[in-house]
Homo-oligomer: A and B are copies of this chain.
């Protein structure tokens, strides 16, 4: 590998000299052109080309106290459920000139505080967190730094700052209500052990009015875990009729296992997932699921951060994006 000698990158100083203007004029020509004459802008632009100048946002941010970075914390990037959110977040932020720094907190709460510190040391202009901030220390710290914070994918009455998500308890209740309304009595739950999934379970049990057989697996859930969970539930209740699962991949696994044991879906067993993953409508049988618009969560969260960074008030600091039970073949609905 031929490494080019560490010849210093051009600075704004070089651009200014090349263009025959002062440093600050060059700066303004690039970042606030309204204050500069067209002719000067043109000369600066030419000088930028000639020198191959690439702005140094770190340097600018030091003085202006805007890093144009937003920290994004997810439990783990490999949960497909959050992908549309991360994607929309990245895109919306990018369009406004902000970049996302990604952090994975794991499902382990103790890492949260450490990761938060790491992120804060980069002086992000905002923070988007998947889930709620639970640790009081972290909540207090986030409040103190005074940057916009959005908690996502959940709702509570004590937001650190802003919030966009859904009520997981309501999702659970809605699914249980849906099952009961169809006359299915022998219910079951297969769920990951993360906070949001457990809240859905609570809502489910509350609406069912009684404890139900549960298979609880360590988050994140998967097709593989789904097969095992199905086996576990059938052991607990061989005549189980309706199972609610904490993710679509998980539900998919349950259905595969159920079928391999000769159970017909939906005739012998009905299944409902969560998230409306891209495959949910297209597997066989197609999967009934609670749909959440993850991309909207990302878009709204990004916009909240952007608005606040640009000094605009956020009209609605807590947004419930809601959910919708999409009925498909796995509960006796139509294919589409």
Interface residues of A (CB under 8 A from B): 1, 3-7, 9, 52, 54-59, 61-62, 67, 69, 76-78, 80, 83-84, 86-87, 90-91, 94, 99-104, 117-123, 141, 143-146, 159, 161-162, 222-224, 226-227, 249, 252-253, 256, 259-260, 278-279, 281-284, 317
CA separation between A118 and B90, bound complex, in Å? Answer: 13
Contact of A58 among B62, B83, B162, B226 (CB under 8 A): B62
Query: Can you show 30 pairs from A to B with CB atoms below 8 A apart?
Result: A1-B159, A3-B146, A4-B143, A6-B144, A7-B146, A9-B145, A52-B141, A54-B117, A54-B120, A55-B121, A57-B123, A58-B62, A58-B123, A59-B62, A62-B62, A69-B101, A77-B83, A77-B87, A80-B83, A90-B103, A94-B103, A99-B101, A100-B101, A100-B102, A102-B102, A224-B278, A224-B282, A227-B282, A249-B279, A256-B284
Q: Which of A62, A77, A249 has the most CB of B within 10 A?
A: A77
Q: Are A122 and B58 in contact (CB under 8 A)?
A: yes
How many identical chains are in the complex? Answer: 2
4 pairs of A and B residues whose beta carbons are closest in the complex: A6-B146, A223-B279, A223-B282, A78-B83
Residues from chain B with a CB closer than 8 A to the CB of A283 are 223, 252, 256
Contact of A121 among B56, B159, B253, B281 (CB under 8 A): B56
Q: Are A122 and B57 in contact (CB under 8 A)?
A: yes
CA separation between A281 and B224, bound complex, in Å? Answer: 8
CB-nearest residue of chain B relative to A79?
Answer: B83
Residues from chain B with a CB closer than 8 A to the CB of A103 are 90, 94, 99
Residues from chain B with a CB closer than 8 A to the CB of A61 are 58
Instruction: Say how far A313's CB is from chain B's closest CB, in angstroms.
Output: 10
CA separation between A249 and B117, bound complex, in Å? Answer: 38
Q: Which of A69, A117, A120, A122 has the most CB of B within 10 A?
A: A122
